Every structure is written in C-alpha cells, then in structure tokens.
Chains A and B, each alone.
Chain A
C-alpha cells in the first residue's frame, strides 16, 4: 500500500509531471487497480465538467472590442516612479543648458573683472575662482577662461547630442 501514488495521480492526470516522476506513476498504474480507478474517476470528472459548455457571447467580437476601446481613456498609466523618471528625462536638456548658461555667466564676469578692474587688489579682482592661481598674469587668466568656456561648451554639446540620439533611437 505504501507504494501507492495517490498524491501524484491528479498531477499525472493534468500532465504536470515530467521525466522520471511521470514514468514512475505510469508504471505503478499498470499494476495497481486502486490507483487506476482513481485516475479514471478524475478523467470521468473532467469529461463531466465539459458537459457545461462555454457561453455563447451576446456581443459580437467587433462590438465587444469597440465598447472596450470607447472606455479605454488615455494611454496606460505609468507608475509614480516612472512618471518622475520621465519628467526628469524631459527636463534634462533644460537643466544642462541652464548649467551651461550659468557657467558661461560666471566665466564672463571673471573675464570682465580681470580685464577692466586691474586696480583692485589681487583677492577682489580675481575672486575665489582664480584665488588659487593668483600668480597668473591677466593674459594668462583670460586664456584660462577661454579654455574653460570651450570645455564647458564641448561637454554641454556632448550631453545634448547624447540626449537627442537616445531620444531619436527610442522614438524610432
């Protein structure tokens, strides 16, 4: 009796067993009338359940689909975190341009101070940006500012170009 496979007969009937387990149950069923009877009862029940057939739809397929479409509303709602991420994504170019404009303004003011206020003492004239490089002459300071401006513009261009490329890839 301990060899009965009662616990596995339903899974066997439902086609849920695979490999060795299925073979084991199949082999047992060949020799055990009790387990065979249980399997037949399950098969009979499945046949009996099919005697209650599916309903005949009252709405045609097209009418059903069109009624669903009428009630669909706007597109699928995004989860909150995805909405925040999407908003951040669309605001990213504005943020990059804003940072670029701020950097340009700072550099422009620094250049103006270096050029037009030579009478100020070293600290006030150059401000904190160049304080560590106080030994530079005015010309060297302007050259440094120019390099910084170019570098800032280059980095901004790369970031905006990358954003546009990924937008285009996503769109296409």
Chain B
C-alpha cells in the first residue's frame, strides 16, 4: 500500500568507503547531508548556531557508529535519527525552556525579501507564527511533521528514522497537523 525508497548506489559506495575509515568519503557524505541535518535540528530547537553545533555532533556520532549502519535502510533516515537524538539532547542540556513568545521576530534567519516594508513585515510575522506553531508541538509529533513537511520523507523513511511503526507516524502526523492548523487558524501563539 505504501511506497518504499530505493537505495542510492553511489551513496552506498561512499558509505562503504567511510566504514573502512576513508575520511574524504565521509566528508562527502557530510557535504551532501549538511543542509538537511542542520534544517532538521534547527526546526527542532529554533536556533541556527545551536543547530549547526548539534549537526556537527550528529555527524561525529554518525562517524563513530558507522559500522552499525544497516545498509538495508536509507542512510538519510539513520542519519536523521541520530540528528534528532542530538537535537533532543541539546534541548535538554541547554534547558531551552524559554517561552516561545521570547523568540524575537528578527531571529528568523531567512525571511523572504520584499521591497515593501509592510509586506516584508507581514511575511516575517507569518513565518514566525508558523515556526512557533511548530515549536509548540510535543517533540515526538514535531519530529514527524518536520521530516514529512520540510524534508519530504516518506512514511516508511520516517518510521525508520524514528524507529516507530508506520501507523504511529500517521497518527502523530495527523495530530501535529491538526494542532498546527488550530494554532494558525486562531492566530494565537500556543505557549
């Protein structure tokens, strides 16, 4: 019923080389997945510097545990699992209990440009509203939503990344979407 992803043969060769200790091969894997890992961690913790630091830590853990990677699963799923674990560790260790309302508007890193200041401000506010609605979700549901909506991962890949059944992926995704819809429709920040 559900589709599954085919493995990337070129990437598999890089992984095999990296598993035997080839640093340039692993560096190439880092280049390929850097943006995705940083994005995932950023959307989990909402801080670019923290996300880049955590993404680096995720790649270090990946390197150290590369022999445990099972090539039957997508490398990206396995990598994102590590990245999400690092993100959760970072959130816990940093005690990021600051209120969502404390997030400054200008912290938004890449608001769409507009020559009209009013339009630009409105876009920025909408982006912040979306970001805060996502951040208000419980981490488990947030992770599923991020992997599906921003990383475009299939249910099967998400299931592998989070080590949960596909049914749980669907239920968490439905919950996350309904909560975000509710928050956005109310136009009020859920803190």
Q: A: which residues have CB within 8 A of B?
A: 10-11, 14-18, 21, 41-42, 45-46, 48-59, 61, 64-65, 67-69, 71-73, 75-79, 82
Tell me, in angstroms, the Cα distance from A53 to B109 when the chains sit together.
8
Docked-complex contact A75 and B21, CB < 8 angstroms: yes
Given contacts A10-B174, A68-B59, A79-B67, A52 and B127 within 8 Å (CB-CB): yes
- Contact partners of A73 in chain B: CB under 8 A: 60, 63-64
Q: Are B150 and A45 in contact (CB under 8 A)?
A: no
> Which of B49-57, B76-84, B90-98 is near enough to bind chain A?
B49-57
B side interface size, CB within 8 A: 56
A42 / chain B contacts, CB cutoff of 8 Å? 177
Nearest CB of chain A from residue B110's CB, rounded to whole Å: 5
**New A-B contacts (13) at CB < 8 Å, excluding given A54-B39, A64-B56, A73-B60:** A18-B3, A42-B177, A45-B180, A46-B149, A51-B130, A52-B134, A59-B52, A61-B31, A64-B52, A68-B63, A69-B27, A76-B64, A76-B67
Q: How far is the CA of A69 from the CA of B109 in the complex (A)?
A: 26
Q: 1/0 per position for B32-56, CB-CB distance to A under 8 A?
A: 0011001100100000110110011
Query: In the bound complex, do residue A52 and residue B64 qualify as a contact, i.e. CB atoms below 8 Å apart?
Result: no
